[in-house]
Amino acid sequence: MPKILIIDDDPGFRKLLETILIGEGYGIESGGSVADARRLGQELQFDMVLSDLKLPDGDGLQVLEWFSENAPQTPVVMLTAFGTVETAVRAMKLGAVDYLGKPLRSPDELRILVERTLRNRSVARERDILREQVTGSFSCDSMIAEDRRMKNLLDMARKVAPTNATVLLTGESGTGKEVLARCIHGNSPRSGQVFVAVNCAALAPTLIESELFGHEKGAFTGAESQHEGRFERADGGTLFLDEIGELDGHLQSKLLRALQEKTFERVGGKRQITVDVRVIAATNRDLEKMVGEGSFREDLFYRLNTFPLEIPPLRERPADVAALARHFLRRAAKEFGKGSVELTAEAVAKLRGYGWPGNVRELENLMERVAILCDDRIGAGDLPFTSKESSSEPVTWKGIERKAIEDALQRNQGNRTRTAKELGISLRKLQYRLKDYGYAE
């Protein structure tokens, strides 16, 4: 039975929605404030959220931001009174899936919207599972590497791939850790089996144990059916744990046992579940430093660090920039129905001279933008940045990163959730960086 959260400070309208949806067989929880939404979101898992835009302690955009960060797979629909449709449309641009006008024109309007939203969520989840299965096989030979360090790295990946050794991938955000993980899987005896990826930083701490290991029916409030975790889904294949440094102490202990003994229990369960899973972990944090600080288990670190591979940032491998840019440009041109789009020599030189704080992900996004805006030829003037070589001041990674974050914050009017999304990093990492730069919480 799908569970829906309703947030509206009008008791009468909230009761109306509850009555209609309970009559359709949905499980309902409700509240009247942003605080209620956050509290219930921490305690329970929801399949959908209906939130009013006007709330006594804030607005629906804050509800949307909370769920976008802590339960990104949960669709949020905004409830909007006459005259606030423009705000609802803005909410959709920020991630809301739809909006519903107040008052209701008919109960069917609500029924149809909820049914459509839940159906789309189900399709999206099935598509994600299928994508894990279809794209699980990825050959290292298809990876673009002109830089000597990257070629050596791929050689090492090919050598470890046929084994069952746990691999730890390190490197800055956007360097391509998941791509390399898929390369290792695709060159292993498990290539015909599933590749399951999970971003540990994208899940709320209260939900991640259930997501990794599953839960039994009745394990906690809202657990109305048995849930299979990612370890079980990856049985026979490869489990990619991204942002592994974000796990708390309890989960680190449970993960260590699962790695050592290949067994675990679901949340609320006593039955031992045995799986055959090859784990590849990744992080952009310094785990050795975290071990020294006491925030990461030393025994887990050594268990994960069986075969470490460090991916260098794009600024340290300029030989790869032109080849990657042309690859992304050809792919984007094809996707957008364009003809042949070429980079001039001046454009290539400018690309090579840039610091790439967002690494390969930033280069890919840039090539998609210029493929849309340009016709058949891309010159240096079409690239919206200044080459680091044109500056007389020394360029450091920290300075480049800080400027990229500050510029993105300004573009997003200080909204940290939207800034993190634009930069392709977790909100937790953005807040960590801002604290490091001296910004107040």
CATH code for the domain of 181: 3.40.50.300
- Higher pLDDT pick, 394 / 94: 94
Does residue 136 surpass a pLDDT of 90? no
Residues 173 and 270 grouped into a single domain: yes
The SS3 assignment for 294 reads: coil
Per-chain mean pLDDT for the chain: 84
pLDDT at 431: 76
Nearest to 262 by CA among 208, 210, 303: 303
d(Cα 113, Cα 163) in Å, to the nearest integer?
A: 49
Q: In what order do the strands lie in the sheet with 27-31?
A: 27-31, 3-7, 48-52, 76-81, 98-102
**Peptide bond before 103: cis, by omega within 30 degrees of 0?**
yes
d(Cα 304, Cα 289) in Å, to the nearest integer?
A: 15
Does residue 131 surpass a pLDDT of 90? no
pLDDT at 399: 59
Question: What average pLDDT does range 357-383 have in this prediction?
Answer: 87
Q: Please state which of the ranges 257-266, 271-280, 346-355, 380-389 shows the lowest mean pLDDT.
A: 380-389
Residue 301, C-beta contacts closer than 8 angstroms, at least 6 positions apart: 287, 288, 291
Does residue 132 surpass a pLDDT of 60? no
Using the 3D structure, point to which of 312, 343, 369 is the last residue of a domain.
312
125 CA to centre of own chain: 14
* Reported pTM: 0.61
At residue 1 the predicted structure's pLDDT band, cuts being 50, 70 and 90, is confident
d(Cα 419, Cα 424) in Å, to the nearest integer?
A: 9
Is 203 part of a structural domain of the chain?
yes
Of how many residues is the chain composed?
Answer: 441
Does residue 390 surpass a pLDDT of 60? no
Is 51 part of a structural domain of the chain?
yes
Using the 3D structure, point to which of 106, 129, 152 is the last residue of a domain.
129
Return the HEC string of 234-277.
Answer: CCCCEEEEECHHHCCHHHHHHHHHHHHHCEECCECCCCCEECCC
Residues 376 and 342 grouped into a single domain: yes
Tell me the two tokens of residue 57.
């302690």
d(Cα 125, Cα 132) in Å, to the nearest integer?
A: 11
Q: Terminus-to-terminus CA distance in the chain, angstroms?
A: 39
pLDDT at 211: 87
Contact 376, 341 (CB under 8 A): yes
Residue 174, C-beta contacts closer than 8 angstroms, at least 6 positions apart: 314, 358, 359, 360, 361, 362, 424
At residue 84 the predicted structure's pLDDT band, cuts being 50, 70 and 90, is low
- Percent of the chain at pLDDT above 70? 87
Q: Is 108 exposed, middle or buried (0-12, 13-18, 19+ CB in 10 A)?
A: exposed
d(Cα 211, Cα 228) in Å, to the nearest integer?
A: 8
CATH code for the domain of 386: 1.10.8.60
- Higher pLDDT pick, 281 / 219: 281
Residues 109 and 204 grouped into a single domain: no
pLDDT at 397: 47
Q: Please state which of the ranges 62-66, 160-164, 326-330, 419-423 shows the lowest mean pLDDT.
A: 419-423
Listed ranges 269-278, 405-414, 430-439; the one with the highest mean pLDDT = 269-278
**Residue that the structure tokens 């905004």 belong to:** 78
Counted domains in the chain: 3
Q: Is 35 exposed, middle or buried (0-12, 13-18, 19+ CB in 10 A)?
A: middle
- Higher pLDDT pick, 132 / 161: 161
Is 231 part of a structural domain of the chain?
yes
Residues 341 and 233 grouped into a single domain: no
Nearest to 207 by CA among 75, 62, 36, 69: 69
Contact 430, 284 (CB under 8 A): no
Does residue 243 surpass a pLDDT of 60? yes
At residue 124 the predicted structure's pLDDT band, cuts being 50, 70 and 90, is low
d(Cα 373, Cα 380) in Å, to the nearest integer?
A: 14
Contact 352, 325 (CB under 8 A): no
Nearest to 239 by CA among 252, 230, 229, 248: 230
Question: What average pLDDT does range 410-437 have in this prediction?
Answer: 76
Does residue 304 surpass a pLDDT of 90? yes
At residue 32 the predicted structure's pLDDT band, cuts being 50, 70 and 90, is very high
Question: What average pLDDT does range 219-224 have in this prediction?
Answer: 75
At residue 87 the predicted structure's pLDDT band, cuts being 50, 70 and 90, is low
At residue 127 the predicted structure's pLDDT band, cuts being 50, 70 and 90, is low
Does residue 335 surpass a pLDDT of 70? yes
pLDDT at 30: 94
Residues 270 and 159 grouped into a single domain: yes
Tell me the two tokens of residue 241.
């744990």
Going through 10-108 in order, the beta strands assigned E by DSSP cover 27-31, 48-52, 54-55, 58-59, 76-81, 98-102
Does residue 165 surpass a pLDDT of 60? yes
Is 441 part of a structural domain of the chain?
no
Does residue 154 surpass a pLDDT of 90? yes
376 CA to centre of own chain: 33
Residues 147 and 167 grouped into a single domain: yes
Contact 204, 342 (CB under 8 A): no
Residues 296 and 279 grouped into a single domain: yes
Does residue 419 surpass a pLDDT of 70? yes
Residues 370 and 412 grouped into a single domain: yes
Does residue 51 surpass a pLDDT of 90? yes
Going through 368-426 in order, the beta strands assigned E by DSSP cover 377-378
What is 150-188 written as a DSSP string?
HHHHHHHHHHHTTS---EEEE--TTS-HHHHHHHHHHTS
Is 352 part of a structural domain of the chain?
yes
Residues 239 and 349 grouped into a single domain: no
Is 206 part of a structural domain of the chain?
yes
Nearest to 234 by CA among 175, 181, 305, 162: 181
Residues 302 and 194 grouped into a single domain: yes
Residues 99 and 140 grouped into a single domain: no
Residues 288 and 170 grouped into a single domain: yes
Using the 3D structure, point to which of 64, 97, 129 is the last residue of a domain.
129
Which domain range does residue 86 map to?
3-129
What backbone phi and psi angles, to 5 degrees, belong to 22? -65, -35
